Amino acid sequence: MNPKRITIFDTTLRDGEQCPGASMNLREKLAIARQLENLRVDVIEAGFPVISEGDFVSVETIARELKTPVIAGLARCVDKDIDAAGEAVKPAGDRSRIHVFLATSKIHREYKLAKAEDAILRLAVEGVKRARTYVEDVEFSPEDASRTEPEFLVKVCRAAIDAGATTINIPDTVGWAVPAQFEALIRRLYESIPEFQSGNAIISIHCHNDLGLAVANSLAAVQAGARQVECTMNGIGERAGNAALEEIVMAIRTRPDAFPELECTINPEEIVRTSRLVARMSGLTVQRSKAIVGENAFAHSSGIHQDGILKKRETYEIMDPIEIGWGKTELPLTKHSGRAAVASRLEFLGFKMSREEINAILSRFKEIGDKKKFVYDNELAALARGQIAEAPETWSLDYVGVTSGTVTVPTATVQLKRVRAEASGKDNVLRDASLGDGPVDAAFKAIERLTRTGGRLKDYSLQSASQGKDALGEVTVKVEFEGQKTVYGTGASTDIIEASAKAYLDAVNRFLWQSDHHDKTEP
């Protein structure tokens, strides 16, 4: 084991997906997993197999399809969880890992588990040993480790290693830690357990961002001896999110003085492409000022900054944006581009599509090509995302028309088709109209009247997928259904009303598809 190597453990598909409304279908998860493989992450935590058949199938499929990274499945220290994880990761062969977790902090022991310390130790040992019957690579997480008494934490970690765990992950589950404290905790563990010093086991960390300190805590832990960092692309995840992969990686690469001789295998040129794919698939847009991958990350509006950049880039840029995937040359397509050119570009962008799907995308591509001169990578990616991201359709959009103006009450007429209506014995096509505060609101209300799903718009964003007045508009909506379940939906079109209607209908279909999914638990 190389003591200078940092293992990047990506949990975008597990912890990242736990962000409310970010649930993804199998095709979306597989697209992200393939891109994470291109990014060269070391470990992909593909899901929590026991929680649903969908999660089990996702983990199993990713374990079968990917060829390079270690594939991990999450499990509580419960027999059925571990058995499900063992079966799900089996196709990965010797790249299989089971990640078991058990709460250890006093507050969790007393109020969540109602168990004493000796019972926690016994369950941890039993969980690790059972996982070892399936795989050699077992990771153990003492949940809420940052709030666990240090003496007991050392005892639990030792017991898990003795039982066969080779990675001990220290989660700051609720984002409670601060860097100096977390560094001291990791250093104490490193110095107290000989296996960490010998390299027979490694310390991992998993930090949440409730106080905005996830990345800072992770980097402090690395300086104290941690050699695996659990993180997500764009920092997405439960509540305020997780440590952002791109920030961890670029901090280590950019500041070798602070992290001497440390290295990781990440290919930085794939960072921006991965960020955009995750944003599209999850429906969680990246804020403009986000470090590394935000649109403003390398923008300079101040005259003083612009002057400095022109004279020498390093005056105001500590990283070269080209090295992380910004500013890479695109080959725009036109309506005259053929199927082969579109298929080739989709493959370059990381989308593995069937012939039928490429034909469907090509049809939509031609429609857009008739309305604008060029179709750029982001626009093509938006079409591809729409093709693979759709939940099984209950409703499809046939038509949307609006009337609006400064002296006109905004009105929208929407026609929907109920998919497989003949089997249900219901009307195949329904049409309704509604008033609204504007044309988009009117369209949403008309869709709601037709679908009767009890949706309430919580957030709406519109982004241009490329430059120019003829750019494809990409709409993301956040809709709350039945007063509790939040779902994201996306839609793309050169007409923003149509894009908005598609996005809202996408959310409706996702809600209907997800309605029987269970809530998830995390370490």
Predicted pLDDT at 426: 61
pLDDT digits (tens, 9 = 90+) for 306-342: 456 556 666 767 788 888 888 754 556 777 788 888 8
Helix or strand run (H / E) with residue 282: helix 271-282
What backbone torsions phi and psi does residue 296 show, to the nearest 5 degrees? -95, 5
Mean pLDDT (the chain, rounded): 89
Q: What is the mean pLDDT of residues 407-426?
A: 79
Query: Where in the sequence of the chain do the CATH 3.20.20.70 domains occur?
Result: 7-282
Query: Which residues, other chains included, contact 313 with Cβ-Cβ below 8 Å and sequence gap of 6+?
Result: 320
Percent of the chain with pLDDT over 70: 90
Predicted pLDDT at 50: 96
Predicted pLDDT at 518: 44
- Can you tell me the distance from the alpha carbon of 475 to that of 277, in angstroms, rounded to the nearest whole number? 15
Query: Which residues, other chains included, contact 111 with Cβ-Cβ below 8 Å and sequence gap of 6+?
Result: none
Closest to 84 in 3D by CA, of 43, 55, 45, 115: 55
Fold held by 7-282:
TIM Barrel (3.20.20)
Predicted pLDDT at 521: 44
Confidence category of residue 379, pLDDT binned at 50, 70, 90: confident
The residue with greater pLDDT, 15 or 343, is 15
- Can you tell me the distance from the alpha carbon of 124 to that of 204, in angstroms, rounded to the nearest whole number? 17
Strand ranges of the sheet holding 485-493, from the earlier edge strand across to the other edge: 455-464, 473-481, 485-493
Tell me the one-letter amino acid at 478.
K
Closest to 432 in 3D by CA, of 399, 471, 464: 399
Confidence category of residue 17, pLDDT binned at 50, 70, 90: confident
Q: What is the mean pLDDT of residues 75-97?
A: 98
pLDDT digits (tens, 9 = 90+) for 188-201: 999 999 999 999 99
Q: What is the CATH number of domain 395-514?
A: 3.30.160.270
Query: Which residues, other chains included, contact 261 with Cβ-Cβ below 8 Å and sequence gap of 6+?
Result: 4
Confidence category of residue 467, pLDDT binned at 50, 70, 90: low
Count of residues for the chain?
523
Intra-chain end-to-end CA distance of the chain, in Å: 26
- Can you tell me the distance from the alpha carbon of 505 to that of 451, in angstroms, rounded to the nearest whole number? 9
Structure tokens at 43: 């470990």
pLDDT digits (tens, 9 = 90+) for 108-132: 999 999 999 999 999 999 999 999 9
- Helical ranges in 26-113 per DSSP H: 26-39, 53-65, 79-89, 106-108
SS3 content of the chain, % helix, strand, coil (to 5): 45, 20, 35
Q: Examine the pLDDT at 395 and tell me if it is beyond 80.
A: yes
Contact 162, 132 (CB under 8 A): no
pLDDT digits (tens, 9 = 90+) for 443-465: 999 999 999 998 999 999 888 77
